[in-house]
Amino acid sequence: MKIVAAVAGVLLLGAAQALMAAGFYLTEVGTPGSLGTAGVANPTNNRGAESVWTNPAGMTGIDRRTVDGGMTLALPKIEFSPSVATKGGSDGGNAGVIAPIPGTFYVHPLGEKWRIGFSLSAPLGGGLDYGDSFAGRYSVSKVQIMGAALSSALAYRVNDRFSIGGGASFIYTTLEQDIALNQGPLPDGKISIDDADDFGVQGYFGLTWQMTERVLLGAVYRTEFDTKLKGDVEVQNLLTAFNPTGSVKLDWTNPQWLDLGLRFRAREDLHLMLSGGWQEWSEYSTNLLTVTTSGPASGVAVIDRQWDDTWYLGGAIAKRFGDSALFTMGIKYDSSPVDDANRTFDLPFDETWTISASYVRAGKGKIDYAIGGSLLYSGDADIDQTSQGVRVVGDFDSNWILFLGGTLRYRF
């Protein structure tokens, strides 16, 4: 039964770290106003149907039934370079996992003042696969966490200059993870968390204020919401006649989030945008992990990863060419939620820079189309981590994600 206790202990120390993969919300939802401006245009978006998610008050700027639909591909290149690995192992190669990110948004006018909208998007998630021989395998060898959100919102135009809106996102989150089990001089075992999932509800509220003929202010607040993932635990290659199974429950709080934005019309064909925001990732720092195995061993742990609140600041431009073409470009800086001493392999992000651009073409009739991309770079992300008595030190010499997307817009 000591082996069973060891399995529970490894999960308590290692599995909770995977929750970091839920880190950073995704602000690039695939449309030109988000993907093509590094998310800078989100708080002041009152032009596209994605405003149902980015700022519900912005829906009052849409006078016809409008649907935006598209797909974004996340193409990561995340490569670790170890300088110390006390039990050997590979560098993991490119651990990034290519992921499709769908987005569909619909806004429906209800008279002169009211708007209702619906959306299906993926506002959080990420995945890494280092392989079973990775130097840091005793922390994590594979992890994937995804969140899909069905959202609905209402907006009301108070007057010609001021609008408010609010809604709720119903978010379904799933987690899968593999961790190697250190068995000394014997071959590694493996612990897997499978089919861990949960539903959560996040409220969000927004306003837009046309301060002058040229200046629009936007603000969005998203509430925190709790996630309680429940799934199965499976152990493989344990060098004993008994390979325990069991269940795992991971509880954490996704942080509240505040965005502020400003859009300035410099000319009829040129808009300048600024935005900044804050996310309370210190609230997410403390998690509760419960492990139950097929034996007398189980455990409960409260784990503090010492995360800090984050902030971001960005700027963007939108330039129109003629009556049918629009070009956008944006740049954004996000602070790191974690110091080097506390960083882990499941979310190897440092402070992050994002640059982006998009091209929008108004088609004939009721259909527009757009293409865009964002390049997210997250620094060297130094790591010095000891798990199951094995120390690994190094940094990431490639640590970026390219987002490429396309969108169609139909106005009824």
Instruction: Out of 4-8, 174-178, 220-224, pick the least confident.
Output: 4-8
- Region 23-42: what's the mean pLDDT? 77
pLDDT digits (tens, 9 = 90+) for 224-237: 988 888 888 888 88
Whether the predicted pLDDT of 2 surpasses 50: no
For residue 207, give every residue at least 6 positions away whose Cβ sits within 8 Å of its Cβ, in sequence order, or none: 57, 162, 163, 164, 165, 218, 219
Q: What is the CATH number of the domain that holds 255?
A: 2.40.160.60
Q: Write the single-letter amino acid at 296.
A: P
- Region 347-367: what's the mean pLDDT? 86
Give the whole-angstrom CA distance, residue 269 versus residue 34: 19
Residue 70: predicted pLDDT: 86
Give the whole-angstrom CA distance, residue 201 versus residue 175: 17
Residue 135 has which token pair? 């130097």
pLDDT digits (tens, 9 = 90+) for 291-335: 676 654 455 555 667 788 999 999 999 999 988 899 999 999 999
Residue 50 has which token pair? 């994605």
Per-residue b or e along 162-187, where b marks 16 or more CB atoms closer than 10 Å to that residue's CB: bbbbbbbbebebbbbbbbbbbbeeee
Residue 15: predicted pLDDT: 44
Query: Are residues 196 and 247 in contact, defined by beta-carbon separation less than 8 angstroms?
Result: no
**Mean pLDDT of all residues belonging to the chain:** 86
Residue 360 has which token pair? 């929008």
Q: CA angle, 232 as apex, 230 and 236 as ends, to 5°?
A: 150
Whether the predicted pLDDT of 45 surpasses 50: yes
- Region 112-125: what's the mean pLDDT? 90
Domain count for the chain = 1
Whether the predicted pLDDT of 55 surpasses 50: yes
pLDDT digits (tens, 9 = 90+) for 177-190: 888 888 888 888 88
Give the whole-angstrom CA distance, residue 276 versus residue 315: 9
For residue 350, give every residue at least 6 positions away whose Cβ sits within 8 Å of its Cβ, in sequence order, or none: 336, 343, 378, 379, 380, 381, 382, 399
Structural domain boundaries enclosing 259: 2-411
- Region 120-148: what's the mean pLDDT? 88
Q: How confident is the model at residue 84 (pLDDT cuts 50, 70, 90)?
A: very high
